[in-house]
Structure 1
Amino acid sequence: MRVALFALRAPVVALWVLCGLLTIGLVFPWAGRSGRLGLKKHWSRVLLMLCGVRTRIQGDPVKTGPVLWAVNHVSWLDIFVLNVVRATAFVAKQEIRHWPIIGWLAAGADTIFIERGYRHAVHRAGQAMKLRFSRNQPVGLFPEGTTSEGFDVLNFYGNLFEPAREPDIAIQPVALRYYHRGERSALPAFVGEESLLQNLWRLLGTTGVSVELVFLPLIGTPDQAKPPRAELASHARQSIREVVLVNQA
């Protein structure tokens, strides 16, 4: 069953990825910003469908205006899961830019890459985030800095909360919970030294994978001064962790 499913799905997914790369190279330069955002959202929705991943949304995602979505990080799927709700610019470590396929897609889809360990890296990433906010775009941030199996939440780095401390920018924690056939599962998790091909073998060779996106209450209100970035990070982590820890298999 696993071999048959993988053999059926993998070529179709590969063809869709190729279409995405061609779209970025040939269509994006002429599509305009709104056109690119619409294409990114549509492409992500179809990718998840082809991978057999269903999405369920709880809460009220910010649908208009600038927002920082602080999200726990489990899988390479996380980016496309958020894009289905609203086309999002993500902050990602520079290493992802060099990943085959995923890195190419990320580079062409308005990802903000940060070179960790460099003195001015956070400042440059912050300026790029402010530019997206000025365009009323959402920015997705994975403050853990790496992936986990999704059953707990690692410590958050607070530096990149700073650009969202402006009064007109919403900060919304988002908890992701992955399921396999109705039970909480680490099956889609992309952790450790696992290769993308190994992860795809597991994902495309099964059925019944779903992800729950829980959009939590905003931190503060537009008429309030936001607390320091470390406090913002702590608040976001605690809110997400309370959701991640419940209903575990």
Structure 2
Amino acid sequence: MIRVVAVLALLRLAAITVAALPVQWVALRLGSSLADRLPVWWHRRALATLGVRVTPRGTPSSERPLLITANHASWLDISVIGSLGPVSFVAKSEVATWPVFGLLAKLQRCVFVDRTRRSATGRTAGELGDRLAAGDPMVLFPEGTSSPGDGVLPFRSALLGAARAAILDSGHTRVVVQPMAVVYTRIGGMPIGRADRHRVAWYGDMDLIGHLWGVCIAGGLDVEVVWGEPQIFEATTDRKALAATLETSVRDQLRAVLRP
């Protein structure tokens, strides 16, 4: 019975995706505000279809430019964060080539970074800076990869510094950087233990389709999203020190949820 329900969930997800894609494409071409709102609707519908319940904590900053720095545990993070409001993501360049997911990322105007080419960082930062300067909230995963989700990997500071330079070049004097912790807490109504992390987190060389199917038959997931204290990033701010502060904030938020 669980498998039948999972298949029906995937069919519903496919249906809403097929319905939303052409509308989003047209909205982007026309410069309509619907292009910001439709991805939020899609992410919320996708999460509801997969049985993922999101509980936000704290308050997102209303200041702009706004760069959000979050930990990264799963492909689900995109929909979890995207369901909270209009945002775009900084994603690894491989995502652009993925079937379906790559198209969805492009239609949400993700900024793609080639992690294998150091020379590409400046171009990525320039695009990121332009988007931030235009008032678009952008989400960056400073760990650079996904993890099991019960801890936080070291935050890389390179894109932070390059993004600041791009913002300053656009005439702004500062950037608001807000840490965010994405914490998966329950699966099938039960607390997630270390042995269950692989059922939620997607990292290493895990198969994407197999992991998606596992989420469908999991019996529901609960996730908390915790907004941290916004930090001001100015010309004189030490980017490595800021990265360390953001990393500590996210780690503390994650621990507070997992070990209350």
**SS of the residue aligned with 2:224?**
strand
Q: Which amino acid aligns with 1:159?
A: A
Structure 2 distance, partners of 1:178, 1:202, is 15
**Is the 1:71–1:175 contact (alpha carbons within 8 Å) kept by the matching residues of 2?**
yes
Structure 2 distance, partners of 1:226, 1:243, is 27
The match for 1:230 is: 240
The match for 2:11 is: 11
Q: Which amino acid aligns with 1:175?
A: A
Deviation, 1:95, is: 0.7
Provide structure 2 residue ranges, at least 5 long, that are not aligned to the other structure. Answer: none
Structure 2 distance, partners of 1:157, 1:203, is 29
The match for 1:200 is: 212
Map residues 150-165 of structure 1 onto 2, 5 A cutoff.
Answer: 150-162=149-161, 163-164=163-164
TM-score normalised by length of structure 1: 0.91
Map residues 25-44 of structure 1 onto 2, 5 A cutoff.
Answer: 25-30=25-30, 32-44=31-43
Q: Which amino acid aligns with 2:80?
A: V
The match for 1:103 is: 102
Deviation, 1:171, is: 0.4
Q: Which amino acid aligns with 1:234?
A: A
Deviation, 1:3, is: 1.1
**Is the 2:24–2:38 contact (alpha carbons within 8 Å) kept by the matching residues of 1?**
no
Deviation, 1:33, is: 4.7
The match for 2:222 is: 210
Structure 2 distance, partners of 1:4, 1:105, is 26
Map residues 38-117 of structure 1 onto 2, 5 A cutoff.
Answer: 38-117=37-116
Q: Which amino acid aligns with 1:141?
A: L
- What is the percentage of aligned positions where both structures have the same residue? 30
Q: Does 1:149 align with 2:148?
A: yes
Deviations 1:175-227 (A, max 9, x none): 0001222524623211122222111111111223121110000124x8x6652
**Is the 1:51–1:203 contact (alpha carbons within 8 Å) kept by the matching residues of 2?**
yes
**Is the 1:164–1:170 contact (alpha carbons within 8 Å) kept by the matching residues of 2?**
no
**SS of the residue aligned with 2:231?**
coil
Deviation, 1:63, is: 3.7
Aligned residues: 246
Deviation, 1:247, is: 4.4
Structure 2 distance, partners of 1:124, 1:12, is 38
The match for 1:177 is: 183
The match for 2:132 is: 133
TM-score normalised by length of structure 2: 0.87
